[in-house]
Amino acid sequence: MINWYLNTWSKVVEFLESNSEDGLSPNEIDERRKKWGENKIRILYDTKVLNTSLKYFLNRWFLLPLLLFLYGMYIGRYFSSIILIIVPLVVVYFKINKLQLKKKELKALSDISYGQAVVIRDGFPSRINSEELVIGDIVDIRPGVTVPADIRLIKSENLKVNEKSLTGEDFISDKYETKLDYEVSNLAEIKNVVFKGTVTVSGRAKGIVVSTGNYTQLGKIMNMLTSSNIRKETIDEKAEIYWNKTLSYSFLVGAVLSLTGVIIKGVNYEFIYNVLLSSLSFGGIIIFLLFFRHIKKITLQNDVHILNHSWFDVVNDIEILFIDKTGSISKNEMHAKKIYTDEKLYDIDDIHKENLNFNRMIEIGLIANNATYNTSEDKGTGDIREIALLKLAAIKKVYKGSIDSQNRRIFDMPMDFNKRIYTSVNKMPKGYRANVTGNVDELLDYCTFIMKDGIEVELSEEDKIIIRERDYELSKDGLVTMGIGYRSFNYEPSAKENIESNMVFVGIIGLENPIVDGIEELIIRLRKEKILPILITEDNKIAATTVAKKVGIIDDDSEVISGIELLNATKEEKIEVLSKTRVFSKIAPELKNFIFTIFKEDNYKISSTGEEIVDLPLLTLSNLSIAKGKASSLVKKVADLYIKEDCLEKLIYLKNLSRTINLLVDRGIGLYWIFILSQGISLSLGYIMFNRILLDEFSLLILNVIILPFIVFYSIVKNEIRELTQESIAVRTSIVVFVLLVSSFVIGNMEYNSVILPLISAVAMFLVSLEYTIPKILSRK
């Protein structure tokens, strides 16, 4: 995407071959629509609620209870039949409601394409449908309207916009037409573009359409969200398949037991109904809800927010983890450690303001700086490299506020992926100066002079060699290097000039990005979990190599590649090098997408972390996506998990937890079958042996809807985790059946036996669910 915000509005209009006053001519519209498409967001997600709802009614978990409901109504068991059918109906209701809400949400966003807009064509304003807009149209933006496309502002009169639909945050943003002079980290920082789907609150503006339809930021985000929704439904589908299978088997068991009783003792409608009723226990649904609520509670206690229950279905399959260096491997902070200037390398504590070169470096570092730093709280906002410069200056008793007041900024020339230096042109006490910070190699290419002992002298090739050697040494120590330079003017320069030339090189600042405590051990543990960590960093290749070796991600320099190297490789070369690369240095966003896509195509299960809207494409491509740090609500909507900090440690914790969950689920299933079988067998044997129905319909409802779920839930979360073998299940089932039959024989036709037997049954079921009541030999691991 072209960064429209970094260009003046006049350049944008010129680039798009439009006219800011007259707009487009009618004969240009069709051609542009063919070239760039309609201004409609086409959503890929299936929103056919009726078709999906019919599928729910055709599931076995609905059809089997429906058949028993009809049979129960036929024989007069109205109350239990109604209770029986209510459970699947409630499940269907919530599933359909979820679909309706999703459809409503997507429809509300899609309807944005069908509003109206005021455009200027052939010099005259006219109102058209929003979907008719094309790139290059000049749009009149008024208060209280939904922005119809992504629009670069040409003129703004106190325009204020609510961008909640885009950023997820309910804040009012001021908008103006002035170009930005710096790269942004998120969409909320772009003040000269209004985005499709956002709502104007007050003010007016005029702008040019730069993106339409699915190419708008909203269109991209919506399709990423729908893709994420499809991925998030995997656990629901698997649970549905498993529940269909379980109910089919249990109903088959019930049918066999009731048929056995009928063959031996004859037909008894109540007996048949009760056996089948016991086989269709919906207590499993209640157990499922209780269990996952419990899991969510314990993960929250460990500062892990579950956003999608499918996480535990994929976390054990993860093979590759893409991690950003800052915030995962290293702390989200930097400190100045070394200074190279005037042909000398200094520790930061050994150099003082009296050094003219150092004084100039500090001054430039504060002027060409957009961060803030509070010395009393030791906190800053903005780029951590720029915050480190503010900290360094504060230690030396130099403050940005004082420097800025004496050196008014005229304009900036921002850094981007292709130009890794940042220039701020300022009015100085004497003349004007372009103050530059950034990549050392690139800065040297723009320099023809060097500052020595406070005097500008010609920069020789020997000087360049020495400077690059010192830059290499600092990077080899794992420091992030920043070059400092300037160019003075005796007149006010304009942005149209070649300002970034004939510069004076002053020095290099080496910044330390501290490693997270215990990270080496975490990397080892990740590898033991068969997860391969791949590092993505903004450090240069040399510094990235040093850090990656230090923490144990790589053993050899050949496992590191820079963005430039990858960019110049052919597709075949890229694919070949990806198989052995473990660290990517200075990688452009489009290359990140390519890397992720290649790994996905090779069927690797990948996980990644992110916190900005720019991370959405990679999070969407991941099998397990983790929102971290100060992630916005929109990023969290795409992610499976939110972990504010210590992502690596928490991922290992979640892998261990998922294994525990699988063991607990297996145990819960075993207990479920014990209770289902014990009820059905007891009913069948009681009918055959005593010609009596041991448990009536009301007892069965209480047992299966209330008692059984809580016994199973208590057992799986409070007891020692042990596998229930088939032998153990058979023994425990036999114990419950034996207790019920003996109790029935002893009680006989005693008054209240319809209450006593269910109580005895509940107690027996509870006791066999406890591990210590059964010899360990029967429940071995």
**Tens of pLDDT, residues 173-227:** 888 898 886 666 667 778 899 998 888 988 999 999 999 988 888 887 777 666 6
Whether 128 and 156 map to the same domain: the answer is: yes
Q: Say which residue, 140 or 217, is predicted with more confidence.
A: 140
pLDDT above 90 coverage of the chain, percent: 40
Instruction: Please check whether residue 131 lies inside any domain of the structure.
Output: yes
Whether 186 and 285 map to the same domain: the answer is: no
Instruction: Please check whether residue 778 lies inside any domain of the structure.
Output: no
Whether 348 and 290 map to the same domain: the answer is: no
Instruction: Please check whether residue 78 lies inside any domain of the structure.
Output: yes
Whether 71 and 122 map to the same domain: the answer is: no
Chosen domain end from 60, 83, 111? 111
- Which residues are CB-neighbours of 372 under 8 A, at least 6 positions away? 380, 381, 382, 390, 400
Q: What is the pLDDT of residue 48?
A: 54
Whether 92 and 130 map to the same domain: the answer is: no
Instruction: Please check whether residue 398 lies inside any domain of the structure.
Output: yes
Instruction: Please check whether residue 779 lies inside any domain of the structure.
Output: no
Residues 374-379 have a mean pLDDT of 88
CATH of the domain at 19: 2.70.150.10
Cβ contact 563:584 at 8 Å: yes
CATH of the domain at 398: 3.40.1110.10
**Tens of pLDDT, residues 545-592:** 999 999 999 999 999 998 888 877 887 888 888 888 999 998 876 678
Q: Say which residue, 625 or 719, is predicted with more confidence.
A: 625
Chosen domain end from 454, 479, 508? 508
HSE-CB for 569 with a 13 A CA cutoff: 17
Cβ contact 669:281 at 8 Å: no
**Tens of pLDDT, residues 744-778:** 777 765 555 566 777 888 888 888 877 644 444 33
What pTM was estimated for this model as a whole? 0.75
Name the residue with tokens 């009809």. Answer: 70
Whether 711 and 628 map to the same domain: the answer is: no
The residue range of the domain holding 90 is 49-111
Alpha helix (H) residue ranges in 529-646 = 541-551, 563-567, 571-578, 589-601, 616-621, 633-638
Pairing of strands 408-413, 421-427: antiparallel
Q: What is the pLDDT of residue 675?
A: 87
Instruction: Please check whether residue 776 lies inside any domain of the structure.
Output: no
Q: How far apart are CA 728 and CA 718, in angstroms?
A: 19
Whether 523 and 669 map to the same domain: the answer is: no
Amino acid at 257: L
Count structural domains, the chain. Answer: 5
> Tokens in use for 226?
């729908």
Q: How far apart are CA 241 and CA 60, in angstroms?
A: 9
> Tokens in use for 501?
């030339």
pLDDT at 721 over 70: no
Neighbours of 437 (CB within 10 A): 25
Whether 353 and 449 map to the same domain: the answer is: yes
Whether 573 and 627 map to the same domain: the answer is: yes
Instruction: Please check whether residue 669 lies inside any domain of the structure.
Output: yes
Q: In the 8-state DSSP scheme, what is residue 216?
A: S
Chosen domain end from 94, 111, 128? 111
386, 438, 443, 544 from 422: Cα distances, Å: 11, 6, 10, 22
Instruction: Please check whether residue 775 lies inside any domain of the structure.
Output: no
Whether 579 and 696 map to the same domain: the answer is: no
Whether 256 and 367 map to the same domain: the answer is: no
Whether 125 and 19 map to the same domain: the answer is: yes
